[in-house]
Every structure is written in structure tokens, then in C-alpha cells.
Amino acid sequence: MKSDTKLHVEQPGARDSIIVCRTGQGYEVRATPLRITRHVVAFEVYNPYSILQLSEVLREFRIIVNDRLIYSGRATVSNLVNTGIMLVCEATLDEAWLDVDLFALITQPKKLQADFANFLREWGRIRIILPKYKVVLADMQNYFMDLRRWLEQVELGIRSSPSGDRLKLEREVIHELAPTILPSIDSLFARFEEAADEVDKDLQPFHRTYARRQLHP
């Protein structure tokens, strides 16, 4: 089953498209998009010596199509191919799409309805998320939220304790709780990995984005 997540640009070397970003070292990179989908972008950099690394987070990542900024956020390098003449890079995208053309609200009022239709269509794709994947992510989200609240109460108790060696008390609490908490987290991640292994390759970018949204809102 393939996901229908193509967006805006699909043809190589779109003439009016450009990508601008900054590396982790702060260097500016300009590139030509090859393929743009909702969750993954492929582009070529005509400088094979550009310092890009796998898993590197590219900041101020902007995609501009026909002079319109359609994405502004971060991207994470997921694949690199150096052809000797150019560097072909693939990166995963966060949820930073500019789906509403603010200027068109004045010049093309009816376009807002089309923008909402696009939003509704994208939102509806949540149906392709595997139910097992949704369930384990919901369990993880609830567990981490409740665990954080509970640990905040423990922390409050430590701060409220009589003056003394609070650092020693913190270490004792960590030593006591770690053998119980860590296995419970490992169990959740084992369930998550099991569910993730069942996701078709074509749907993995969409599932990764869904997981980030649920666990890092």
C-alpha cells in the first residue's frame, strides 16, 4: 500500500524552486529540490564538498516554490549520495508547512476554502496509521505524562525535606526507582519497535511524523 503524500513539486530541477538552509556549523546551503512530499524532501547541492552529515539537523530550512515560502522549519538528513559533481541529499521534515497563503486571503478570498480542503485531506490521512501503532503511542504518551507528574511530586518532596544533603537524597531516590522505572520504559519501547516493524516502507515517513507529533507536541 502506497501513501499519497506528494505535495507541490515532483519533477526534477523545478526551475522556480529552491531550498535554503543552515548546517549545524552555521554554514548556508542552497540547493535544488528533486522531490518534495509532506514528510520527505530530496535535493541536490552543486558543491560535493558541502559539509552535510547523516542525522544532521538542518536549521532555518526553507522551501520556496514560485517565489512562495511553503516550508520553514527544520529537516533531518536521512540519506546522502556524493556523485562527485553534486551531492544528493534526502531529509525528513517536521510539521512546519505554511499551508495557508496569507497574501491570498486578500487577493483570492475563495482560495481559503481550497486551503482548508487540502488541510482536511491531509488530516484524513491519519486513517493510514496502523491501529497497533496508534495504541502503543497513546500508551506511551499517557505513561510519560503521568510519570512526569508523579516524579514532580517526588521532586517536591525532596525539596521540602529538612535542610541537609539533598543531593545525597536525590541519588538515593534515583538508585531506588531506576530498577523499576527503566524496565517499564523498555517494555513500552519494545512494543513500539514491534509495531513499527509492521509498517510498510512507503508509509514509514508518515508514521514517524505521527509519532513525533504524539510524543513531542
- Where is 143: in which H helix or E strand? helix 131-159
Amino acid 211: pLDDT = 86
Q: Encode pLDDT of 92-134 as tens digits.
A: 988 767 655 555 555 566 766 777 777 777 777 778 889 999 9
3-state secondary structure at position 201: helix
Amino acid 15: pLDDT = 47
- Where is 193: in which H helix or E strand? helix 166-196
Report the distance separating Cα 140 and Cα 192, nearest Å.
Answer: 9
On whether the CB atoms of residues 207 and 130 are closer than 8 A, the answer is yes
Amino acid 199: pLDDT = 92
Amino acid 191: pLDDT = 95
Residue type for 190, please?
A
Low-confidence ranges of the chain (pLDDT < 50): 1-15
Residue in the block written with cell 518534495: 36
